[in-house]
Amino acid sequence: MKKIAVLTSGGDAPGMNACLRAVIRGAIYHGVEAYGIKYGYNGLIEGDIYKMKSYSVSNIIQKGGTILKSARSTEFRTKEGRKKAYQQLQRRGIEGLVVIGGDGTFTGASVFHEEYGFPIVGAPGTIDNDLYGTDYTIGFDTAVNTALEAIDKIRDTANSHDRIFFIEVMGRDSGYIAIQSGIGGGAELIMVPETSTSIDDVIFDLNQGRNTEKTSSIVVVAEGDEEGGAMEVVNKVKSRLKGKDLKVSILGHMQRGGAPTAMDRIIGSRLGLAALEGLLGGKKNMMAGIINNRVVYTSFKECINTAKPLEQDLLRMVKILSI
Amino acid sequence: MKKIAVLTSGGDAPGMNACLRAVIRGAIYHGVEAYGIKYGYNGLIEGDIYKMKSYSVSNIIQKGGTILKSARSTEFRTKEGRKKAYQQLQRRGIEGLVVIGGDGTFTGASVFHEEYGFPIVGAPGTIDNDLYGTDYTIGFDTAVNTALEAIDKIRDTANSHDRIFFIEVMGRDSGYIAIQSGIGGGAELIMVPETSTSIDDVIFDLNQGRNTEKTSSIVVVAEGDEEGGAMEVVNKVKSRLKGKDLKVSILGHMQRGGAPTAMDRIIGSRLGLAALEGLLGGKKNMMAGIINNRVVYTSFKECINTAKPLEQDLLRMVKILSI
Amino acid sequence: MKKIAVLTSGGDAPGMNACLRAVIRGAIYHGVEAYGIKYGYNGLIEGDIYKMKSYSVSNIIQKGGTILKSARSTEFRTKEGRKKAYQQLQRRGIEGLVVIGGDGTFTGASVFHEEYGFPIVGAPGTIDNDLYGTDYTIGFDTAVNTALEAIDKIRDTANSHDRIFFIEVMGRDSGYIAIQSGIGGGAELIMVPETSTSIDDVIFDLNQGRNTEKTSSIVVVAEGDEEGGAMEVVNKVKSRLKGKDLKVSILGHMQRGGAPTAMDRIIGSRLGLAALEGLLGGKKNMMAGIINNRVVYTSFKECINTAKPLEQDLLRMVKILSI
Amino acid sequence: MKKIAVLTSGGDAPGMNACLRAVIRGAIYHGVEAYGIKYGYNGLIEGDIYKMKSYSVSNIIQKGGTILKSARSTEFRTKEGRKKAYQQLQRRGIEGLVVIGGDGTFTGASVFHEEYGFPIVGAPGTIDNDLYGTDYTIGFDTAVNTALEAIDKIRDTANSHDRIFFIEVMGRDSGYIAIQSGIGGGAELIMVPETSTSIDDVIFDLNQGRNTEKTSSIVVVAEGDEEGGAMEVVNKVKSRLKGKDLKVSILGHMQRGGAPTAMDRIIGSRLGLAALEGLLGGKKNMMAGIINNRVVYTSFKECINTAKPLEQDLLRMVKILSI
């Protein structure tokens, strides 16, 4: 391979820039020309593609977001769109592609590969950590720490007023952010999509207070919990928790941004380099991931179709630690 | 005076602990016994009062919230409640009181003073900075910086996706947090209760984009804006901003917590000491404030009844800086 | 005026970018062409000057350092150097200059103005806050908060091990950073160039411990204290504090960097705009400052030659608060 | 077992409190009485031991340092000292011990176990991450992120002035903090004890600048590098790097403190619970660690005597990423 390109797609995640930097500098190191594609698959279709050098990725490792910008592309879901994309690559002589993103990104890549046999390797960039094939996704650690810092702040005011706070964190299909930020924040209860917590349990836990000295409580709710988000949960419990001062806080989009943590910069760099070197070494239609601290490649199909289970010992720990 | 007491009341604010520490250590320095009252006026009525020493306030200057806890008291609004409060003070021989809080706290103190002639001096502790009689209230600078950090993070993702974000910050009656965090965050538009921004203006600004290179925008909305909070504003504008990707983020209670900034620790310390020394020096029924970097005492009445105007040159600056 | 230029000079300070942004956008707002000069007076001499537009200063308000880069220029101290500088300005038809920097920057500007009558207005950008003519310099608040966060962290380990830490903060001629970060950090003792603290006093305070419950202590030392930096102070006291575990930490250059606080972004913006509008309005040879929350212009001469006194009530407070 | 005790020893590390909390609450969960020992082995010898309840560890998970305090004990290295320690445990009917610390802590525990057969299980609490038997030690992730934030700030000023900074991070025998903070901080060069970097290499890298656009550089030096700390390295290279502006920054003790990251709170909790449950389940003379995301127990002997290698692929990455 003489020319490769890279894009970021789907929701942005802190560490994507570190990953991009590693792809570009890795390519230069191996004597390969590197191109950046803006706005994900949309930019690919429209030819928003430009050559990148080492200095193009200078001073970006500490930046949140993605300098290539990101988008969700409806056109790439059409045969016509993918054809244009392929032509753009051919016209420039680009022989391989690194895509940084999540589920949707890899689904698109997989279809594209089937149709055109074009070599693509992925790097997992999403704050949700819900991708099979890697222990950690790029952006997850930062999102957890951002949520945690917010929980710490909210606990100050919860303590000062003896309140119960229901804090909603991101995670439409996955409780990873909720579990980690909840344990880190000393939450009394954590509600996630993967397990069912009945409203009766919530009321029992909060009403009784096994530790009778506790006057304030934090409940962390993943936005995709089967009982609904934090607001819905409070609506369901408030009539049965009379006399308690219940508040809701929805952390929202700030969980996506911010300077990446050390871990996200490092795994971003490792996975960017792994995706690039995988691609150069002949891998295709696969995602580079880190499992047990080693780089592993898993087919896009498997990444997309396999559910990643929550760690059961963390769920067990919540009960013990809030005793 | 030989014995004084101190309480925190109303919404908690970062720097209240620094203020409390200065009251206690100031009292000890001047050879006066100091008592802490828990849960604001409620604790005063119920006699939740205990002696404090220098070490009682060790290692708290960096802590958000208030170690004395806070509450809003309905009982203190009754004659009966205030009578009990007075008896609790008399029983212990407490001769003066420092109250740390906002509007409501000083209204209560003012009535209490009228009825019993009891010496009270206040220190302004509220994140909203809406108190007449001081340039800055304790907690304001921290709340602004917390909001600003969230805005910075949200801008990362706004930039990566070319979105318009409406970010709601605290300020039911006051636009101080919105103005400062908005200017600091480079917002294109800031909506505050003190001035009216028409929906037409919002649409004009966002639709046109005076700076045509801008692809993402931040609008900061004070929760008490006359057009409603961020969610309501978006509902009003969305049909007329078709094709734009609008998002809402409500920062919520985390703005109240967190380790206080240097400024809040310092003005908390200064105002705690000023309130204490004012009280010992014979002042009563007054709030200690800082105006033009000097300590000034203003009567509770004036603090409560005078509106504090927004700085007009900051409002003017928003327009120029987002050109 | 139709064309103005702006440069940053001397040590960089967080908020310089906010200030630069306000100069550029203010110029555009007033219909004036704006040029940026790189590397301070060196770049002026060498003609490292380029036109700036609104987007040239997009997305920089949150960045530490200065995108124009800074330098200390020896050539500008020569007549020959200043002549070249003047020619560069003339050649481009630039009619006025905004300089962002400290003491040295304004000294240069003042000489240049004397020789060529060229209109220059300054904005005070230096972390040290040692400039007469303004209550706060751009960068000071950020530097104080950076030092404070480090002190908070060090206190954790001081407490865990019952140690005495001597922490050196920046301030070659000025104790502003030391005083504010020391009070904010709950320091037992603060040593600054403006007042003399004898080694005997240090030993008395630390040996005796007025508050006998205290097991750890923090001493904040300005680098320019008359007894020397933290290392020298420890060398002087250690033989007389046997049995105590003394440690030194020199915070160093990280105090210059980092995302600016809200305050530095706001006063940076205000002072940038004030310098620009002062220049356009006919002011020259002056620095824009903020005194008692109002913009004030003071002649460079006065700024350079007048000492700015430390606030005495803050020094008094240290003793009371560490009781 | 009916009664267990827990202590923290050696250098403090963020997350020790999370670990302690898990030991105490885990014990309560399993119906076992829990005692806290202050000041490490010194407190054990002197009987500074007190009963802990669930609320004793409330609101500490977010705190740096250790509420049990720590110390290095010379007395515990003597037979006599250990005898007293044993008697203190026997007198109270304490049947098992959890020790949180590093190398030295486990060496002491191992000797104690040999002499008295007393059941001890350890949890790895040290910022250095240099313990065999676990992928991560408690405190490491926080220390890396603290170093990284400082490097980010220093880069602002390095960039603004085109300087080369030599930044010294902690790590007397280990380059873990240097490697991770260096990669995360985009360092051009990282000097660690485990590998030898010749002064010639340093000069080659900095003089030549493979990437000719680079005007500033960061070199991260572990304090225990074979060429010495940052100051010594600069002294060795400065005569051969004429015309370059070299600066030194020694981050120092602040790397030990601060609120723990999410990761340190979670692995602190996991390892605290694992140590406690290991002890109750009959394990002794072992450290609980996390390898490949699973809890693993390794004998103290093995932990102490086996060197933990640096990850070679991270070292390789430094070269590629700074191209």
Would you give the DSSP letter of residue C13?
-
For residue C222, what is the enclosing H or E element?
A: strand C217-222
User: Residue C106 to residues B31, B211, D174: CA-CA distances in angstroms?
Assistant: 49, 33, 47
**Active site (catalytic) residues of A:** 128
Whether D65 sits inside 8 A of C14 (CB atoms) is no
Whether B270 sits inside 8 A of C313 (CB atoms) is yes
Residue A125 forms contact with B (CB below 8 Å): no
Q: Which two tokens stand for residue C130?
A: 């040692």
Residue type, position A260, single letter: P
Residue C142, pLDDT > 70, answer yes
Whole-structure pTM value = 0.97
Contact in structure between D124 and D134 (CB atoms under 8 Å): yes
* pLDDT average, residue stretch C123-152: 97
Whether A55 sits inside 8 A of D259 (CB atoms) is no
Per DSSP, the residues of B193-233 read TTS---HHHHHHHHHH-SSTT---EEEEEETT-TT-SHHHH
Q: How much of chain C exceeds pLDDT 70, in percent? A: 98
Residue C251: per-residue pLDDT: 96
Contact in structure between C170 and D153 (CB atoms under 8 Å): no
Round to whole Å and give the CA distance between C268 and A67: 26
pLDDT tens-place string over residues A9-61? 999 999 999 999 999 999 999 999 999 999 999 999 999 999 999 999 999 99
Q: Pick the closest to residue C166 from C140, C185, C180, C139 (CA basis).
A: C185
Chain B contact set for C61 (CB, 8 A): 184-186
Per DSSP, the residues of D191-235 read E-TTS---HHHHHHHHHH-SSTT---EEEEEETT-TT-SHHHHHH
Task: Please tell me which residue in C103, C128, C225, C264 is annotated as part of the active site.
Answer: C128
Q: Which two tokens stand for residue C146?
A: 């950076």
* pLDDT average, residue stretch B125-137: 96
pLDDT tier, D216 (very low <50, low <70, confident <90, very high otherwise): confident
User: Residue A161 to residues A157, A165, B73, D301: CA-CA distances in angstroms?
Assistant: 6, 11, 12, 49
Whether C156 sits inside 8 A of D247 (CB atoms) is no
Residue D60, pLDDT > 60, answer yes
C:221-260 residues touching chain D, CB 8 A cutoff: 247-258
* pLDDT average, residue stretch D150-169: 95
Distance from CA of B226 to the nearest CA of C (A): 25
Residue of A248, A249, A257 lying closest to B153 (CB–CB): A257
Q: How much of chain D exceeds pLDDT 90, in percent? A: 89
Q: How many residues does chain B have?
A: 323
pLDDT tens-place string over residues A267-307? 999 999 999 999 999 999 999 999 999 999 999 999 999 99
Backbone phi, psi, residue C241, to 5°: -125, 50
CB atoms within 10 A of CB C41: 29
Place of tokens 């006063």: C267
* pLDDT average, residue stretch C50-55: 96
Q: Pick the closest to residue B202 from B177, B185, B169, B226 (CA basis).
A: B226
Round to whole Å and give the CA distance between A300 and A104: 11
Q: Pick the closest to residue C6 from C38, C31, C29, C32 (CA basis).
A: C38
Q: Pick the closest to residue D291 from D302, D281, D305 (CA basis).
A: D302
pLDDT tier, C212 (very low <50, low <70, confident <90, very high otherwise): low
Residue D213, pLDDT > 70, answer no
Residue C35: per-residue pLDDT: 98
Per DSSP, the residues of C231-277 read HHHHHHHGGGSTT--EEEEE-GGGGG-SSPPHHHHHHHHHHHHHHHH
Please list the residues that pair with C8 across neighbouring strands.
C100
Measured at the CA of A279, the angle between CA A274 and CA A281, to 5 degrees, comes to 90
pLDDT tens-place string over residues A136-182? 999 999 999 999 999 999 999 999 998 999 999 999 999 999 999 99
Q: Is C128 a catalytic residue?
A: yes
pLDDT tens-place string over residues B189-238? 999 999 888 899 899 888 865 455 667 899 999 999 999 999 999 999 99
Collapsed DSSP state (helix, strand, coil) of residue B257: coil
For residue D107, what is the enclosing H or E element?
A: helix D103-116
Would you give the DSSP letter of residue A54?
G
The residue among D264, D269, D276 with the most chain A CBs within 10 A of its CB, best to mutate, is D269
Chain C contact set for D250 (CB, 8 A): 250, 252
Q: How much of chain A exceeds pLDDT 70, in percent? A: 98
For chain C, domains (ranges, CATH) are: 3-139+260-305 (3.40.50.450), 143-256 (3.40.50.460)
Q: Which two tokens stand for residue D302?
A: 């093995």
pLDDT tier, C213 (very low <50, low <70, confident <90, very high otherwise): low
Measured at the CA of B132, the angle between CA B131 and CA B137, to 5 degrees, comes to 40
Residue C209: per-residue pLDDT: 58
Backbone phi, psi, residue C163, to 5°: -110, 165
Contact in structure between C77 and C115 (CB atoms under 8 Å): no
- Kindly give the pairing relationship between strand D96-101 and strand D246-250: unpaired
Residue D168 forms contact with C (CB below 8 Å): no
Round to whole Å and give the CA distance between B254 and B64: 11
pLDDT tier, C210 (very low <50, low <70, confident <90, very high otherwise): very low
Residue of D59, D183, D293 lying closest to A135 (CB–CB): D293
Look at phi and psi of residue C243 and say left if phi exceeds 0, alpha if psi is from -120 to 50, else beta: left
Contact in structure between A138 and A164 (CB atoms under 8 Å): no
Handedness of CA C154, C158, C163, C164 (dihedral sign): positive
Round to whole Å and give the CA distance between B137 and B130: 8
Round to whole Å and give the CA distance between C199 and C216: 19
Round to whole Å and give the CA distance between C241 and C221: 18
Residue A213: per-residue pLDDT: 60
Q: Give me the helix-helix angle, D312-321 and A16-29, nearest 10°.
A: 80
Chain A contact set for B257 (CB, 8 A): 152-157
Q: Give me the helix-helix angle, B140-161 and B262-280, nearest 10°.
A: 160
pLDDT tens-place string over residues B181-203? 999 999 999 999 998 888 998 99
pLDDT tens-place string over residues D87-137? 999 999 999 999 999 999 999 999 999 999 999 999 999 999 999 999 999
Place of tokens 């993103």: A101
Residue A40: per-residue pLDDT: 97
Alpha helices in C162-221 (DSSP H): 176-184, 199-208
Whether B59 sits inside 8 A of C155 (CB atoms) is yes
Q: In what order do the strands lie in the sheet with A33-37?
A: A49-52, A33-37, A3-8, A96-101, A120-124, A286-291, A294-299
Chain D contact set for C10 (CB, 8 A): none
Mean pLDDT of chain D: 95
* pLDDT average, residue stretch A72-80: 95
Whether B321 sits inside 8 A of C21 (CB atoms) is yes
Q: Pick the closest to residue D296 from D185, D131, D150 (CA basis).
A: D131
Q: How much of chain C exceeds pLDDT 90, in percent? A: 89
Round to whole Å and give the CA distance between D129 and D190: 17
Residue A210, pLDDT > 50, answer no
Per DSSP, the residues of A259-302 read SPPHHHHHHHHHHHHHHHHHHHTT--SEEEEEETTEEEEEEHHH
Collapsed DSSP state (helix, strand, coil) of residue A188: coil
Contact in structure between C144 and C180 (CB atoms under 8 Å): yes
Residue of A154, A160, A161 lying closest to B254 (CB–CB): A154
Chain A contact set for B159 (CB, 8 A): 65, 69
Residue A117, pLDDT > 90, answer yes
Residue B177, pLDDT > 90, answer yes
pLDDT tier, D51 (very low <50, low <70, confident <90, very high otherwise): very high
